[in-house]
Amino acid sequence: MRFDPALAAQEAFYKAEAELGSDWDTAVELEQTFSSNAGSTAREAYEGLLALARQYPTAYSFQAFCIYITWQQVTEETIARHFETGMKLSEAYLASREARIARDAERIEELHGSFRAGLGLEEQDELQLEYKRDTPKGGD
C-alpha cells in the first residue's frame, strides 16, 4: 500500500460527521468500541458500523471509512468474508461518480485490487485473458 489505511480511516471518519447528522454519536460510539477492543466486541462494533453505512449510501466519507476498516478486519482475521465485503463496498463506492471525485477514490481503487487479489480474482483474470488469446476466433 502506498498509504496507511488506519490513518486514512481516521481522516475519512472525521469528515463523515456532517454526512451522518443525528447518527454521528452512534458512529462515534461504535468506532471507539471497534478501535479499542478486539475479538467479538470489535467484530460487533464493525458490523454496527457497516449497518450504519447501509443507511447512508451517499455518505462517501463514511463509506470510505468502512472500506478502510474492512481492510483492518482483513489484517486481523484473514477470511474470505472480509475480502468479499471489502470488494462489494469498494465497487459500490467506485461506481458512484460523486464518490470518485473524492480524494479517497485512488486509495479505494488500490484497496479494491487488494480485496480482489485476496480472493484470487486477479489470477483468474490472467487465466481468462490467456484463454481468450488462445481461443480460435470465427473462421480459424
| CB-count exposure of residue 11 (10 Å: 0-12, 13-18, 19+) | middle
Whats the size of the chain, residue-wise? 140
If one counts the domains in the chain, the total is 1
Q: pLDDT value at position 140?
A: 47
CB of 6 closer than 8 Å to CB of 42: no
Examine residue 44 and state whether it is found in any structural domain, yes or no: yes
Q: pLDDT tens track of the chain, all 140 residues?
A: 788 999 999 999 999 999 999 999 999 999 999 999 988 999 999 999 999 999 999 999 999 999 999 999 998 888 899 999 999 999 999 998 877 666 688 899 999 999 988 888 765 455 555 555 555 555 54
**Minimal CA–CA distance to 87: which of 69, 103, 111?**
111
Examine residue 140 and state whether it is found in any structural domain, yes or no: no
Examine residue 139 and state whether it is found in any structural domain, yes or no: no
Give the Cα separation of 112 and 19 in Å (integer). 23
